[in-house]
Amino acid sequence: MTTHPFDLTGRVALVTGANTGIGQALAVALAAAGAHLALVGRSAMDETRARLHGPGQVHEIRADLSSTAPLQSVVDETVVTLGGLDILVNNAGIIRRADSVDYTEEDWDAVIGTNLKSLFFLSQAAGRHMIAQGSGKIINTASLLSFQGGIRIPAYTAAKSGVAGLTRLLACEWAAKGVNVNAIAPGYIETNNTEALHQDETRRTQILERIPAGRWGKPGDLGGAAVFLASRASDYVDGVVLPVDGGWLAR
């Protein structure tokens, strides 16, 4: 029997930052497509679990990805508990805002550490497993700031530009080994990370006026792109940074 190319039944997906926002929405989409899920986050994921509807198993891993210490154990626990690892979604991230002239080294190191360093070394740990089995999908969460400069978020912009570069580099190294590495670049999505922009009426209005779709995105808007990049439908897609932005970059 031939399954639908977007079917993830029996596949094991590890999703970081799955307790809220975009990570939660990506987990919900992958579960609906049939995947088993390892949910990774610093806080309880009861809300995420309540939103999951699918035939797969769900395993929760509490881990702080601000350091590289837990990364190998996260992969190992996923493989042992769920029987493998086919899909890694690198979504965990933080943001800290300040004018560049005032930005602290502490904030720089925190953002780069979580958003770029941990992303690479978790990809490395997962990649070793996937290369050994001859298949796998890695999906990174990039950003519009992978393409643009932004303001008042220098470390975040540097990290997300780095995510785009790493996505392409790992694709070049691992595509021939059966591992597809791609990224999703969310536009302006209503999440905790963008709450400060929502509270700034001037910035909120400026942003909305530029979005051709005429609205801010919701986390669920990213689910289809994640299922595509996690599935057989994208087996010949490598090194892509896919904007899901309501047309922001087209304007």
**Hey, where are the domains in the chain?**
12-238
118-150 confidence digits (pLDDT tens): 999 999 999 999 999 999 999 999 999 999 999
188 catalytically annotated: no
Q: Which of 103, 156, 188, 236 is catalytic?
A: 156
pLDDT reported for residue 1: 46
pLDDT band at 55; cut points 50, 70, 90: very high
* Contacts for 61 with CB less than 8 Å, ≥ 6 apart: 38, 39, 40, 41, 74, 77, 78
pTM of the full predicted structure?
0.96
First to last CA, the chain: 44
Edge-first strand order for the sheet with 179-186 is 58-62, 36-41, 12-16, 87-90, 136-141, 179-186, 241-244
Mean pLDDT of 230-241: 98
The H-assigned helical ranges of the chain are 21-32, 46-51, 71-82, 105-112, 118-133, 154-174, 195-199, 201-210, 223-230
Strand 58-62 to 241-244 pairing:
unpaired
71-124 confidence digits (pLDDT tens): 999 999 999 999 999 999 999 999 999 999 999 999 999 999 999 999 999 999
DSSP string, 30-48: HHHTT-EEEEEESS--HHH
* Contacts for 135 with CB less than 8 Å, ≥ 6 apart: 86, 178, 179
Alpha-carbon Rg of the chain, whole angstroms? 17
State the fold for domain 12-238: Rossmann fold (3.40.50)
Question: Which class for 202: exposed (0-12), middle (13-18), buried (19 or more C-beta within 10 A)?
Answer: exposed
CA–CA separation, 61 vs 103, rounded Å?
Answer: 32
Alpha carbon of 54 to those of 46, 73, 181, 194, 234: distances in Å?
A: 16, 26, 25, 29, 21
Give backbone dihedrals phi and psi of 149, rounded to 5 degrees, phi first.
Answer: -85, -45
Question: Facing residues of 137 across strands?
Answer: 87, 180
160-218 confidence digits (pLDDT tens): 999 999 999 999 999 999 999 999 999 999 988 788 888 888 989 999 999 999 999 99
Decide: 224 and 32 in contact? Cβ < 8 Å: no
CA–CA separation, 180 vs 236, rounded Å?
Answer: 8
The fraction of the chain above a pLDDT of 90, given in percent, is: 94
CA–CA separation, 160 vs 147, rounded Å?
Answer: 9
pLDDT band at 2; cut points 50, 70, 90: low
